[in-house]
Structure 1
Amino acid sequence: MASQLKYLCGFGSEFVSEDPRCPGSVPSGQNNPQKCPYGLYAEQLSGTAFTAPRTENKRSWLYRIHPSVIHHPFIHLKSNHISHDWNQTLPSPNQIRWLPFDIPTPSEVTDFVDGLHTVCGAGDPRTRSGIAIHVFLCNTSMKDKCFYNADGDFLIVPQQGVLDITTEFGKMRVEPNEICVIQQGMRFSVSVSGSTRGYILEVFAAHFQLPYLGPIGANGLANPRDFLCPVAWYEDKDVKGYQVVSKFQGHLFQAEQNHSPFDVVGWHGSYVPYKYNLALFMVVNAVQFDHCDPSIFTVLTCPSNRPGTAIADFVIFPPRWSVQENTFRPPYYHRNCMSEFMGLIFGNYEAKKEGFQPGGATLHSVMTPHGPDTQCFEEATNATLCPTRVADGTQAFMFESSLSLAVTKWGEETCQKLDKNYYKCWQGLKKHFNPKWQPDVL
């Protein structure tokens, strides 16, 4: 499935897209005329309150063959893998590492929705506060089935396998080292070719946006023009028993309808799904001494009401030059008022080259100490400092949150992927204290 994309030239901008088979499908001059072109229905999808400030207001008008309201009643789907009950297990201040999560075998036919598993999170979608972190583990395409999330936005990070995503706005192909964001309420279906795995950051409270650049200036980090959104594409398809799956208040529900939901002929607005290639990130780094805080690698943020404090940040650690003088260059040992969930798309993360594997994850909770393992410390302390490439052939990322995250029962027990030996990677750190130390004399 080829992607049909166009430039998303700035968050909050207005866009118009029509399927070329039906030119003029988006009405001119008004949003909801008495009779829409081609006999279409007008439907607004709102991602913010009607009265939100214009610069923050998110909504799109969809011109479609059937309105979304045509479906049978939703019924509850029992799921053992999606949960926002953060009291299933005792909290743990320990460093946590997961080995690569298992992808179902070919005999266990599993699509994207069936393969969603909640690992950890905090908060409550009913009060529009909090986040959840999931993994998806699947091996087959969704057939005559779509999904939408009434609880919040999905930031999707594929790690293995390509996602061919059909949305109400059009199609996107998302490969490893790319991400996509499907915002609250948008219906989509995922096609895959074989074993597929990845991570999802879900935010309940608000929407993702680009971080402020401050003294960095006008250019740097993720540039708005590199974000892509779909071009309108529709299918006029009658399907008996088409399944619409809704995630609502942390539960899954299913309704049936007799047509494809991807029947939007044209659309316009500021509320769209989008994708981004992580290779386009413009790295900002230290060029004299010390190791900058990881916030310089923020791609997208979901801010809280506290200035400078995020409900969730999406941060990456891309290939770059390391040139600092007289500096321990890897990430410093650290205790943080934030929670840090890390995943690895491919390669070997510089601070933990052993044990932290693609398709696995780590969680360092609020004020839990963490940092380079013994091998990394010894190598970096004794290395000859010269300009060095860091993270070539590697892409690690972090979901960082001001919330204190709880691990689900699936994440702690059912998945059977907890690395109980993770703590040992620091046990070899030796005492180097010398009370008679003298500075080098030049």
Structure 2
Amino acid sequence: MDYQTGFLNHFATEAVDGALPQGRNSPQRPAFGLYAEQFSTSAFTAPRAQNRRSWLYRMRPTTEHGPYAPYDGAKHLVQPDDSQTTPNRLRWDPLPMPDGAVDFVDGLMTYGGNGDPSSGGIGIHLYAATAGMDARAFQNSDGEMLIVPQQGALRIVTELGRLDVPPGHIALVPKGMRFRVALTDGAARGYVCENFGVPFCLPDLGPIGANGLASPRDFEAPVAWFEDRDEPFEVVQKFNGCLWSTTLDHSPFDVVAWHGNSTPSRYDLARFNTIGTVSFDHPDPSIFTVLTSPSDTSGTANCDFVIFPPRWMVGEDTFRPPWFHRNVMSEFMGLIHGTYDAKEGGGFAPGGASLHNQFNGHGPDVESTARAMQADLKPVKIDDTLAFMFESRAIIQTTPFAMTGGLLQSDYDACWNGFPKARLP
């Protein structure tokens, strides 16, 4: 499958020769009787560097549909509130695969979040699916979706083309874009960050310089692809925290050509250039930021997407796992594969998750701490692991499913029991 490379580049692509206007962009008479439509995910007057929009040339305009009605599926895709939220550190077992045929939309389970589509913030969901979506599409009008597969590859069909997204990759789908998810490797499971705030972008590198972390050229956008299907097609829309459904008489994936910079994309996390220390002390986890959604407070993100990939540990005179800390940011972690180096004592399994809300102490467990304090500080390669974190400046409120759905570990605090008391002279 072909891709175009770059992040926020202005792309131009057509699935049929001659479908994309050349020179002057005339929406009056596109080729082949196509309809011109602008898809905007920023305000029209946003500064040029932040302006995100794409021109779509499609077989039918998106205005052609009947009224939406409430959708009664996806029972656990909800807006969290503070009724279930505690200061306790939380950890969950992996989400089990559902019985029967459940697709990506109906397999979404909300664990927590903060804010809302009007004020910013994030929603955090896990998904478990056993069936692909066919004559069915999803449109999230509330937020941009960062999809992190943990088990099973996804084929994400969007209005602008197709993305193959196996575990170890991520996908970014713009707010308001229609897409469907097929399963190309059997049952699938993973994580989703729904971003209500400023769209994700690459973090500034500051003293790191021109190179390092995620490179724009490694993000891949789809080339134009369309399907011409005249049959009933359901569109489920998430709008203002609720789900709605309507039925079209054709596939919504009928964009024959497009150009612009508001695009879906995928990224291979193995291409992340990890930056670490070559002298002493463990660097802050912000050094592992792949994408950030800035807030109106400089240096404090609406959401950071951070990964902990394979890497060399070479610092002298230091404690190499993440140190004990209380943080102004709230941290939701997931594990794609392997063992996380701060939780070698068990309990944090691939497909599972943990939540440490702001200013509540956390860090390595007893076993990991003891091993790290006695370790010979020679160069060591941390391998066969990939963990990540959704980090937000606000408290992450939890949902009833997260707290009472049977996956919450009741003994998580025990991993910090038994630290020997320091012996003073």
Q: TM-score range by the shorter chain?
A: over 0.9
Q: 2:334 aligns with which of 330, 337, 343?
A: 343
TM-fit CA distance, 1:38: 1.0
Corresponding residue to 1:195 among 153, 167, 187: 187
- Counterpart AA for 1:183: P
Structure 2 distance, partners of 1:38, 1:222, is: 40
- In structure 2, stretches of 5+ residues that fail to align are none
Once the two structures are superposed, what CA deviation does each residue of 1:47-89 show, in whole Å capped at 9, x if it has no partner?
0011111111000000000111111111001242011141342
Aligned runs of 1:322-337 on 2, under 5 Å?
Answer: 322-337=313-328
CA distance in 2, matches of 1:197, 1:124: 25
Note the C-alpha offset of 1:29.
2.4
1:86 to 64, 70, 81: 81
Paired letter, 2:5 = Y
What residue identity is the alignment partner of 2:365? D
Shift of 1:337: 0.7
Aligned partner of 2:138 in structure 1 is 147
1:27-106 paired onto structure 2 within 5 Å: 27-78=21-72, 79-89=74-84, 91-105=85-99
Q: What SS does the aligned partner of 1:55 have?
A: helix
Q: Is the 8 A contact 1:291 1:331 kept in 2?
A: yes
Please state whether the residue corresponding to 1:412 is helix, strand or coil.
helix
Alpha-carbon distance in 2 for matches of 1:104, 1:200: 18
Matches within 5 A, 1:214-253: 214-239=206-231, 241-253=232-244
The structure 2 residue matched to 1:173, chosen from 124, 143, 164, is 164
Q: Match for residue 205 of structure 1?
A: 197
Task: Quote the residue 2:423 is aligned against.
Answer: 433
Contact 1:165 1:189 in 2 (8 A): yes
Does residue 258 of the first structure (1) align with residue 249 of the second (2)?
yes
Separation in structure 2 between the aligned mates of residue 33 and residue 56 of structure 1, nearest angstrom: 24
Distance 1:271 1:429 in 2: 50
Letter in 2 for 1:121: G
* Partner of residue 107, structure 2: 115
Letter in 2 for 1:30: R
Q: Please state if 1:363 is matched with 2:340.
A: no
Q: In structure 1, what is the equivalent of residue 289 of structure 2?
A: 298
The letter of the residue matching 1:6 is Q
Separation in structure 2 between the aligned mates of residue 221 and residue 324 of structure 1, nearest angstrom: 19
AA aligned to 1:28 is: Q
Q: Contact 1:159 / 1:198 at 8 angstroms: preserved in 2? A: yes
SS class of match (1:52): coil
- Aligned sequence identity (%): 50
**Amino acid in the other structure paired with 1:419:** Q
Matched, 1:16 2:20: no
1:45 aligned partner, one-letter code: F
| Letter in structure 2 aligned against 1:365 | N
Counterpart of 2:410 in structure 1 is 420
Deviates more, 1:271-280 or 1:381-390: 381-390
Tell me how far apart the structure 2 counterparts of residues 114 and 283 of structure 1 sit (CA, whole Å).
36
Paired residue type of 1:273: P
Number of paired residues?
A: 422
SS in 1 for 2:325: coil
Identify which of 270, 273, 278 aligns with 1:279. 270
Structure 1: gaps (5+ residues): 437-442
Residue 83 of structure 1 contacts residue 250 of structure 1 at CA under 8 Å; is this kept in 2? Answer: yes
CA displacement 1:144-173 (0-9 Å, x = unmatched):
000010001000000000001111111110
| 8 Å Cα contact 2:80-2:113 kept in structure 1 | no
TM-score, with length taken from structure 2: 0.98
Does residue 320 of structure 1 match 2:311?
A: yes
CA distance in 1, matches of 2:29, 2:57: 11
Cα distance, 1:418 vs structure 2:
0.4
Tell me if the contact between 2:105 and 2:138 (Cα under 8 Å) persists in the aligned partners. yes
Which string of whole-angstrom CA distances, capped at 9 and with x for unpartnered residues, describes residues 317-368 of structure 1? 0111111111111110000011000000000001102110000000000101
State the distance in 2 between where 1:71 and 1:205 align. 28
Does structure 1 residue 186 correspond to structure 2 residue 177? yes
Aligned AA for 2:287? I
Q: Is the 8 A contact 1:31 1:61 kept in 2?
A: no
Residue 387 of structure 1: aligned partner: 379
- Give the corresponding residue for 1:440: none
Residue 250 of structure 1 and its aligned partner are, at CA, apart by: 1.1
TM value normalised by structure 1: 0.94
